[in-house]
Structure 1
């Protein structure tokens, strides 16, 4: 298939470890503009976990939540992945005491953020 016509990889596929079934802390860190140790802090795991045990279940659950929220934001942004990541990291949400989606995911509220994104995409107002 021509590279131009090849469908864009899903966010999860683009951020997984090559030839592995788990998400890559390194790739996700790069996408978010974060050091891997910062991801460890956000996931509340040891600073060595992302490199020594990237398949750690607690870390992977956090990374899956990050990917789920960014994927929902990407869909709402018309497929603009860069815009979705910027929003995730930087936009304070008035409906959530001006916390960012990133802070809400760190607090274990990924589904709340996804529901919010979907409600906005469906035409609800804040």
Structure 2
């Protein structure tokens, strides 16, 4: 791991730019870049993905690593449509307590494998609540 890290760009509404920034030279999502963009340390990322730090460091393209990263990006993509910026969607994913889910965040729910639940919730927000 080199000491040089490129700065995280401002993505605005450009979710595709976020995706492109996260890809490594092999086309996999870079856990290091993901952690930087999502303001997570690597141990927190490893814990959320239910993998060891060793696996995260040595085999970042492993399916179990990539699955968590992809699902987190799915949630962030859907949230970007509502938040109207990638940065606000990232904050929402990490920090916003979701009342219907016992005040867990999107990040916590993704770590629990509940990506579909969060995506349905976001979809309901986009459609408006029927009351």
Which TM-score band (shorter chain)?
0.7 to 0.9
The answer on whether the counterparts of 1:76 and 1:118 sit within 8 Å (CA) in structure 2 is no
Task: List alignment gaps of at least 5 residues for structure 2.
Answer: 1-12
Give RMSD over aligned pairs: 1.8
User: Does 2:121 correspond to 1:116?
Assistant: yes
Task: List alignment gaps of at least 5 residues for structure 1.
Answer: 1-6
Q: How many residues align?
A: 118
Please give the TM-score of this superposition, normalised by the length of structure 1. Answer: 0.86
User: Does 2:44 correspond to 1:75?
Assistant: no
CA separation of 1:125/1:54 partners in 2, compared to 1, >3 Å: closer, same or farther? farther
- Which residue does the alignment assign to 1:34? 40
Point out which structure has higher relative CO (alpha carbons under 8 A, 6+ apart). Answer: 2
CA separation of 1:15/1:104 partners in 2, compared to 1, >3 Å: closer, same or farther? same
- Which residue does the alignment assign to 2:91? 86
Q: CA deviation at 1:112?
A: 0.9
- Which residue does the alignment assign to 2:71? 65
- Which residue does the alignment assign to 2:19? 12
CA-to-aligned-CA distance 1:11-44 (integer Å, 9 cap, x gap): 3222111x22211101110011111222111111
Is the partner of 1:58 in helix, strand or coil?
Answer: helix
Q: CA deviation at 1:125?
A: 6.5
The answer on whether the counterparts of 2:15 and 2:86 sit within 8 Å (CA) in structure 1 is no
CA separation of 1:125/1:97 partners in 2, compared to 1, >3 Å: closer, same or farther? farther
- Which residue does the alignment assign to 2:8? none
Q: Which runs of 4+ in 1 moved over 2 A?
A: 11-14
